[in-house]
Structure 1
Amino acid sequence: MVPFTYARPATLSEALRLGTGNPAARYIAGGTNLVDLMKVDVERPAQLIDISRLPLRSVEPSAGGGLRIGALVANSDLAYHPEIERRYPLVASAILAGASQQLRNMASTGGNLLQRTRCAYFYDTATPCNKREPGTGCSAIGGLNRGHAVLGTSESCIATHPSDLCVALAALAATVQVVGPTGERSIAFADFHRLPGETPERDTNLSAGEIVTAVTLPAEGFAAHHTYIKIRDRLSYAFALVSVAAALRMEGDTIAEARLALGGVAHRPWRVPEAEQALKGKTATPQLFAQAADITLQGARGHGHNDFKIALARLAVVRALTQAERGTPQPQSLKKIL
């Protein structure tokens, strides 16, 4: 770990002043990812700007009947917030599927969006990695890639995004509020994270110096028909091989509206609106769910060790949609998928 300076601004404007025009600075909140990366010499900030004392910890109603979640709301607080449990249980379920209680107590909502990949080659500074050092190559292609992406990949990178919460936020079509040197702006969740392309070192579409201030959920939370399924190598504290957030609005046996997002399969949460449209207005059947899975996974390509993910994801999508349609969400305390 290289030497660094530390600042704890008292206001958002002070934090922006410290971060603007300083590419060697990093904002830090809970630090559950950044500090790990500093320990293994992947991140080498010359300055840490601690924003954990800024007034960004509220959960409050937003315009249009939704809910505005401050960027510094801890994952544990969010998962057990009464309005989240009542109106957006998909969010609570996704959070409880991730990490350990201790980490959830520290991890922030905004920080969760900014997690970096858990690709072993990214963490190993002795191996080439385009995400860590652009232009050096991707060791996972042709290497051990069991946990890597099967969708949206490029010849530069096949890493996956590790967040569970982000998969639920993608399915719900959340919005991210940010502030930076040029002022405030809103980013649709679908536009927040990037595919690797030729610039895998860039995970998001944040501009230099910008800070995530809040995440806004729309009014529709799909509380009656939702589920979050996470398939992993072990139940406790493991990242997803495949995860699925499914949410439906049912009118009898007919699907009036559908949302579907996958985790563990791409560089960002994977949502295909065409699959959701294929479900809309149709009677819920296993055949329809299989069709939606095929549309979602169109173009999927394995890289050897992770070929199994394609079939696994297809089964997981069908199971998730079945659970959502029945109104029987997956309990995160169970080892067995319902």
Structure 2
Amino acid sequence: MSAEIVPLRPRASEPSLAPMLAVTAPGMNAVNSVILDRMQSQIPLIPVLAGHLISGGGKRMRPMLTIAGAELCGYQGTRHHKLAAAVEFIHTATLLHDDVVDGSDLRRGKATANIVYGNPATVLVGDFLFSRAFELMVEDGSLKVLKILSHASAVIAEGEVDQLTAQRHIETSEERYLSIIGAKTAALFAAATRIAAVVAEKNEAEERALEDYGRNLGIAFQLVDDAIDYDSEASESGKGKGDDFRDGKMTLPVILAYARGDAEERRFWQDAIAGFSNSDEDLAHAVELINRHDTVSATRERARHFAQRAIDAIAGFPAGEARNAMAEAAEFAVSRRY
């Protein structure tokens, strides 16, 4: 990566999501009410399957960004509640579809919807949630908001397809990897934060600043997710350890380990990513190589760079609880173990 790796400024204590939760609590209560109401259907399976994931203990970072961004902008209205719910529905729909594509059997520490209810129902309920999201956007009435969120939805899909085509391709570059996660993860973070400035009627520069915050936070968040796959137990991360390895996903810890390895190590990675070596013993060897070349730490260092960029993006907004909470949320995204 050509950009300089900039460390986060030191903190006196371990960063926490608690300030973000406190700042957004009233707004998120309203968002959760919208989510509960709009996931209902006369078809009983729809709210049951949607609720399996929506009530599954996720951090709800994306809708929180919309609420926090509105607080940062001093917005006093309620439009952002429905829009934050739309953001969460888009995210949930992509998770449901991802689990089908990946054949995942564990998310947030419990069986995925596709394992419990089957692939067809999971895909269709994901489609239902996408549709609900667009209903909420249309109700808001802002073409600008609709353009931002609909574009983000298209970019997410492109990122997922790009990731699929990069799967089991050992020569995937760090640049392509960053492009993939910028699309499949960071695009919704960026859109979720930017729409807060839109509803608050802020100027273009402030919109872009919040968008930059969200995008850089999203990249940092995904980098850490990919590091955790080789660094934490399933009980901590809520998914099976080594899922990315067995799926042949080219994430940064692997890209760096492959680049830093000798000829024998590279042959192992070629076989592993191609799907020929993916036993528990192979996973253990992969983790050993990743530890040998310290690529989990290197991945977290890159995450710190993007987290600092997120913090710097909102430096021009008024100091206060909202800005402090958003800055600490960026630091938490890097330090977290789950």
Same fold (TM over 0.5): no
Specify which structure has the higher proportion of strand.
1
> What range describes the TM-score normalised by the shorter chain of this pair?
under 0.3
